[in-house]
Amino acid sequence: MTVQSTSGNPLDQAARDVLLGNDRGGYTIPTARLYPYQWNWDSMFSAWGYASFDMERAWQEVHLLFASQWDTGMVPHIIFHKVDPDYFPGPKVWGATHEPPTSGISQPPVAATLIRKMYEMDPEASLPHIKALYPKLVAWHDWWIRERCKDGPVAIIHPWESGRDNCPDWDLGMEGVPVNEDDPYLRRDTTHVQETERPQKWDYDRYLAILAFGRSVNWDDREMVENGPFLMADPGISFVLLRAFSDLIALGELLGEETAGLQAQESKLRAGLDKMWNAEKGWFDAYDMRTGRFANVLGSGAFLAYFAGVSRPAQDAHFARIWDKVSYGIPSADPDSERFEPRRYWRGPTWPVVNSLIAMGLKDMGRTEAEARLRDETAKLIEKGGFWEYYDPMDGTPCGGASFGWTAAVWLTWCGQGRAAQRAGKE
Ligand code: GLC
């Protein structure tokens, strides 16, 4: 059933139009040309967005994503439903043996959390879908613990697995990735978006070197973890998974399932958080699993701690510091760091989608003032610039891809809610 909004805010319809315009028949691309396939966490956000006006379409999105789950339990980060030469690296470069073709890595597991949100929006219609998806979610979470959490926190085998591709957190691990100079390639992303807003050649050389290794071992998880060129513990994805466990347990209880196994996995993950605590810096930090060295980098991944209901006073102070340095929170990198670049992808810009997760946590923790501020700043970015991929946190300039699905989705589900009425009330 399609529900029409009565809010009267033209941006609500514009947001729905972005999602519908990116719909390729059962799955939603992040944006045309730059990202023409189904991406894992983007798709979950799109589903959440659809849930605000078309529940059936929302569930279709989730089912199609999980239809590409691997036998190992992994849910891939990209599903190449229809080959599109506009995107590089495509299915051949990944070389994963799966039908339909997919990438060989995963992405932040927001599914259980957003499925729970969808359930709350319409319990009755959602229950049969949750029943069907629950074993798949359990298998995916099990895969994370089994194949990525040897040391406690989640360790990623490729920066793309984190969802925060070129953030400074990964510089340390990327320095150690050997590059194959004899393997030329042609990027497509820089023909769609200004080069200054995208990752650099230095990053891409290494991204592709990790892909070449993955291909050579047929994306075998053990091989990647034991012998791959890159392995770093990621605070962001660890917190996303921790939060997702609590939502999955709640879904399990709803279905009358036995959740003791999930609870044990959640506790194990929680106990591993201390390994990421950089006491000298006072924040949750990425570290290189091969050497044990901290990245010494503060980024938005650390602030996803709130999403998991975790806070520590020293990191709270950094949160306040970096937020006060920008006009639109939350920057993806520390504005006081020399690596900060306000318009280069994950090295500084503010991302509405990450803001929505941080805000969800702040709200659940009772930090309602901070949540309201973040919601207002994110809404203003969209009101000024439209539905872009990310924005300069200093002046709000829209960056990256336009008509971006997950930005439209978080407008519909979070920061755009009641916006027209609120503004009218203030005037
Ligand atoms: C980039 C982002 C990633 C996102 C994808 C599609 O790779 O870093 O988080 O899922 O684009 O939007």
Judge if the beta carbon of residue 349 lies within 6 A of ligand 1: no
Distance 258 CA to ligand 1 centre (A): 35
**Is 163 a pocket residue for ligand 1 (Cβ < 6 Å)?**
yes
CB of residue 42 inside a 6 A radius of ligand 1: yes
Element (H, E) at 155: strand 155-156
Cα-based distances in Å from 275 to 229, 320, 334, 336: 22, 23, 21, 25
- Please report how the helices 123-148 and 260-271 are oriented relative to each other, as an axis angle in degrees rounded to 10: 50
Best CA proximity match to 234, nearest among 311, 138, 149, 314: 149
Could you give the domains of the chain? 10-426 (1.50.10.10)
Q: Is the CB of residue 108 below 6 angstroms from any atom belonging to ligand 1?
A: no
pLDDT at 31: 98
pLDDT value of position 6:
52
Please give the pLDDT value at position 7.
59
Q: Is the CB of 122 under 6 A from ligand 1?
A: no
Q: Report the atom number in ligand 1 closest to the C-alpha of 345.
A: 8
Q: Residue 108: left if φ>0, alpha if ψ -120 to 50, beta else—which one?
A: beta
Gap between the Cα atoms of 62 and 71, Å rounded: 18
C-alpha span between 170 and 399 (Å, rounded): 22
**Which residues are part of the catalytic machinery?**
165, 389
Residue among 344, 307, 28, 16 at smallest CA distance from 165: 344
- Ligand 1 centroid to Cα of residue 3, in Å, is 29
Check if the beta carbon of residue 62 is closer than 8 Å to that of residue 44: yes
Nearest atom of ligand 1 to the alpha carbon of 108:
9
Name, in order, each residue with C-beta under 8 angstroms of 180's C-beta and a sequence gap of 6 or more. Answer: 208, 209, 212
What CA–CA distances, in Å, run from 251 to 2, 110, 115, 126, 245? 25, 14, 9, 11, 10
How confident is the model at residue 184, as a pLDDT?
83
- The reported pTM is 0.97
Residues with pLDDT less than 50, the chain: 1-5
The residue whose two tokens read 């605590």 is 277
Query: Is ligand 1 within 6 A of the CB of residue 165?
Result: yes
- Cβ atoms of 66 and 75 closer than 8 Å: yes
Identify the burial level of 277 via C-beta atoms within 10 angstroms of its C-beta, where 0-12 means exposed, 13-18 middle and 19 or more buried.
Answer: middle
pLDDT score for 426:
65
Question: Cα angle vertex 383, ends 23, 309, to 5°?
Answer: 80
89, 103, 421 from 76: Cα distances, Å: 15, 6, 40
Compute CA distances 151 → 26, 42, 148, 225, 232, whole Å. Answer: 38, 28, 8, 11, 11
Residue 30 Cα to ligand 1 midpoint, Å, equals 8
Per-residue pLDDT of 383-392, as tens digits, reads 999 999 999 9
At 294 the pLDDT is 98
Ligand 1 center–CA 143 separation, angstroms: 21
Tokens in use for 162?
């984190």
Q: What is the pLDDT of residue 180?
A: 84
- What does the pLDDT read at residue 2? 47
